[in-house]
Chains A and B, each alone.
Chain A
Amino acid sequence: MTMRKISISELSRVEGIGSVEIFINGKKVRDVRVKLIEGLRFLELIPRGLLYKEVPGIVSRICAICYASHAIASSMALEKALSIKVDRRDKMLRELLLYGELLESHALHVYFLIAPDIYDELDFIELYKKDKSLVKEGFMLVKLGNMLREIIGGRPIHGLNIIPGGFVKRPSADSIDKVLEITENIVESSLILERMLKCYPEAGPMEGSVAIATGDHYLYGNRLITSTGKESKNYRVILEEQTEEYSHAKSALHSGRPAVVGAISRVLLKEKFLSREARELLNSIEHDQKYITYNVICQGAEIVEALERILSILKELSKLNVETHIEEPYPKKFSGEGFGYIEAPRGVLVHHYLVEDLILSKANIITPTAINQKSMERAVHNHVETLIFNKGSLNENDVISCAEQIIRAFDPCISCSVHVCFIK
């Protein structure tokens, strides 16, 4: 029997440039290749030679959607390398910023990229012509997330306020109060979110993938944990590098198996951290956890979670006296090595640095989408094989549209993924 090849030359409604090839022989899928083919940005090489505190502002250029996660992971790695202390108020502001970014990134994905799949439209602009309220809700949430990225991070995209030790300047009491008021209004309003997610179909079985998340806190931690019960403070114990000549992103495996990171892994491994409101949303939607599409349901729950957490942190901050001026934190050591682990909106993000005499000498960054690459292939593989089994024959367009939907459910960020660089 001859080998059949089905390809998607460029994925739509995902961030960055990627293509897919599916090889089918009779009733068997022989191979699936997800090719992340965006050009390289070399952002592990470029910041070498810079003063340590200039590094977060440059490496955050890896990704606009989650720039603050990169800048914070970078700062945390530098703090460990150089023994820099962070004030309690700045830790709170960081957490607030991470929840703001989670809200912005998830709302962008769920309302603008996924919703057209649910309502069978080509994009949110077409959707807007039929249902203004849904798109407006999306904009309202993205805007709140961006407001937090602006007042705490310094700009909605690529702000330079995040540095090792905390921030250059803290947000003013006025700006905190203003965002608090907006958040209160949103939390009190009822969202269409849950109704929409109930209509989202299951696809992409995840058999064989290992969920990985950070331990300790919901959005960060000093160790990585897995659904197979492993845990380690050293990411190299959990993640193994793998190169494919067809992709610009290196992928990562766990014990030889594909790994999955993101909202789905956080919820599966760390549900106990979630608020009552977020768990209620999860419980109200019947969606099998073994499908990757459950990731989108988990993102929905995290949108609710983010709103709750943003509200409570803002309330706490508004009671504290948070003066905007900060003494510049000084490093106790001039050289060292450090890891920073963050749950970026799309999953585990690792920054690993070596600093010599306050100058960055080596950087190693692992992004969530690079880790998910192999699981994407696995999910498409399993799904197409089930399609063949159920239908007997294959319609090429069906395969293409479901493969695209499955990959979209991972919320890939290809711009991020092409920076993976394991330096031995």
Chain B
Amino acid sequence: MKLKMAIFELTGCGGCELTFIMLNEKLEDILELYDIAHFKMISSKEDLHKYDVAVVAGSVSTERDLKVLESARKKSRILLALGTCAVHGGPQSLILDEDLEGALAEIYGKKVPKEMKIFAGTPISEYVKVDVEIPGCPPESNDLFQALVDLAHGVVPYKWDYPVCLECKINETECVLVKRGIPCLGPITLGGCNAVCINLGIGCIGCRGPLPEDVNIPSEYEILKSLGISEKTIKRKLRMFSKRVSLNDHEKNLYK
């Protein structure tokens, strides 16, 4: 018997959903294991019963997002958070609850939309229990493929736990941060991307979010400061993709 999978879109750029479609030939293997019961972006099917696996992409940014997330949790056995927006909040999570009013006024002026409640972008784990997390902006297509195959076979999916730095060591890439003074968030960012940006010669911007534990933010902060970058810019860089990066002091108005 095939398992039933549903894919839900909250607020994001569509890249996580696209990563799923771009499994290309491998999508055939996934369709051997799963029936896709619900996936609005590509299907007009509406099966809103129980699912074995619910994949949720995007951050909780509206009342509608929260409703969809809560219903996905209730109806599924395993809930998988796909991508940095779902796992960490994504770039939109730079705007905090306390910033929301000012940010909305800046965008819309006096005529703010009233269709539904607008939230500051939030990782889904702040609202529901999440069973599997695959971060990345976009997530690596192999990670998604392997996790879906593992779940179908009752195996707990592999969890990356080392920084991007380690990948540069394996690739024997000269450190851009220390040797060339290029701002790089590699030391605090979760690996698994094969340091794709550093291979090009640019610093890591932290799109996979911070390491799950033992992450030394103050040290990264000091290194960036020694490169002559302003405090505000550093904070914004550190918080660009993840609400889970704690900066210890008040983080309000980072967008201003």
| Chain A residues within 8 Å of B, Cβ to Cβ | 10-17, 35, 37-46, 48-51, 54, 57-58, 61-65, 67, 108, 112-113, 116, 122-125, 139, 142-143, 146, 154-158, 160-161, 168-169, 243-248, 250, 359, 404, 413, 415, 421, 423
Query: Which of A38, A41, A123 has a CB less than 8 Å from the CB of B42?
Result: A123
Alpha-carbon separation in the docked complex, A343 to B204 (Å): 29
Given that A39-B118, A42-B255, A46-B255 are contacting pairs, would A168 and B202 also be in contact in the complex, using a CB cutoff of 8 Å? yes
Query: Which of B13, B25, B207 has a CB less than 8 Å from the CB of A62?
Result: B13
Which B residues, 1 to 55, have Cβ-Cβ distances below 8 Å to chain A?
9-16, 18-19, 21-22, 24-25, 31, 36, 39-45
Query: Which of A65, A146, A156 has a CB less than 8 Å from the CB of B14?
Result: A65
Alpha-carbon separation in the docked complex, A243 to B110 (Å): 10
> Contact: B108 with A250, CB < 8 Å?
yes
Q: Which A residues are CB-close (under 8 A) to B201? A: 168-169
B107 sits at the interface (CB 8 A): yes
Given that A14-B41, A168-B201 are contacting pairs, would A154 and B196 also be in contact in the complex, using a CB cutoff of 8 Å? yes
Q: Which A residues are CB-close (under 8 A) to B75? A: none
Chain A interface, >50% SS class: loop
Alpha-carbon separation in the docked complex, A67 to B196 (Å): 17
Q: Which B residues are CB-close (under 8 A) to A421? A: 106-107
Across the two chains, which residue of chain A brings its CB closest to B112?
A: A245
> Contact: A54 with B18, CB < 8 Å?
no
Alpha-carbon separation in the docked complex, A31 to B55 (Å): 36
Besides the contacts A45-B95, A64-B138, what 16 more A-B pairs have beta carbons closer than 8 Å? A17-B11, A39-B62, A40-B92, A41-B13, A41-B121, A43-B92, A45-B106, A45-B107, A48-B256, A50-B236, A50-B237, A64-B14, A64-B16, A142-B21, A245-B115, A423-B106
Q: Which B residues are CB-close (under 8 A) to A124? A: 42
Alpha-carbon separation in the docked complex, A125 to B5 (Å): 14
Alpha-carbon separation in the docked complex, A15 to B138 (Å): 16
B91 sits at the interface (CB 8 A): yes
Given that A13-B43, A54-B205, A155-B196 are contacting pairs, would A43 and B91 also be in contact in the complex, using a CB cutoff of 8 Å? yes
Tell me the smallest distance from the CB of A362 to a CB of chain B, in Å.
10
Q: Size band of the B side of the interface?
A: 35 or more
Q: Which B residues are CB-close (under 8 A) to A37? A: 62, 64, 115-116
Q: Which A residues are CB-close (under 8 A) to B14? A: 15-16, 63-65, 413, 415
Alpha-carbon separation in the docked complex, A408 to B154 (Å): 38
Tell me the smallest distance from the CB of A247 to a CB of chain B, in Å.
6
> Contact: B94 with A46, CB < 8 Å?
yes
> Contact: B115 with A248, CB < 8 Å?
yes
B200 sits at the interface (CB 8 A): yes
B164 sits at the interface (CB 8 A): no
Query: Which of B16, B43, B113, B236 has a CB less than 8 Å from the CB of A12?
Result: B43
| Chain B residues within 8 Å of A, Cβ to Cβ | 9-16, 18-19, 21-22, 24-25, 31, 36, 39-45, 58-62, 64-65, 90-92, 94-95, 103-104, 106-109, 111-116, 118-119, 121, 137-138, 196-197, 200-202, 205, 207, 232-233, 236-237, 240, 255-256
Residue among A243, A247, A423 with most chain B CB within 10 A: A243
Tell me the smallest distance from the CB of A349 to a CB of chain B, in Å.
14
Q: Which A residues are CB-close (under 8 A) to B103? A: 42, 45
Tell me the smallest distance from the CB of A48 to a CB of chain B, in Å.
7
> Contact: A63 with B22, CB < 8 Å?
no
Q: Which B residues are CB-close (under 8 A) to A62? A: 13
Given that A61-B137, A413-B14 are contacting pairs, would A12 and B111 also be in contact in the complex, using a CB cutoff of 8 Å? no
Q: Which A residues are CB-close (under 8 A) to B116? A: 37
> Contact: B42 with A58, CB < 8 Å?
no
Tell me the smallest distance from the CB of A18 to a CB of chain B, in Å.
10
Across the two chains, which residue of chain A brings its CB closest to B61?
A: A39
Q: Which A residues are CB-close (under 8 A) to B10? A: 39
Q: Which A residues are CB-close (under 8 A) to B18? A: 64-65, 108, 157
Alpha-carbon separation in the docked complex, A146 to B119 (Å): 33
> Contact: B31 with A125, CB < 8 Å?
yes
Residue among A42, A168, A246 with most chain B CB within 10 A: A42
Given that A40-B92, A64-B13 are contacting pairs, would A122 and B115 also be in contact in the complex, using a CB cutoff of 8 Å? no
Q: Which B residues are CB-close (under 8 A) to A169? A: 200-201
> Contact: A158 with B106, CB < 8 Å?
no
Tell me the smallest distance from the CB of A365 to a CB of chain B, in Å.
11
Q: Which A residues are CB-close (under 8 A) to B58? A: 39
Tell me the smallest distance from the CB of A157 to a CB of chain B, in Å.
4
Alpha-carbon separation in the docked complex, A64 to B119 (Å): 22
Tell me the smallest distance from the CB of A420 to a CB of chain B, in Å.
8
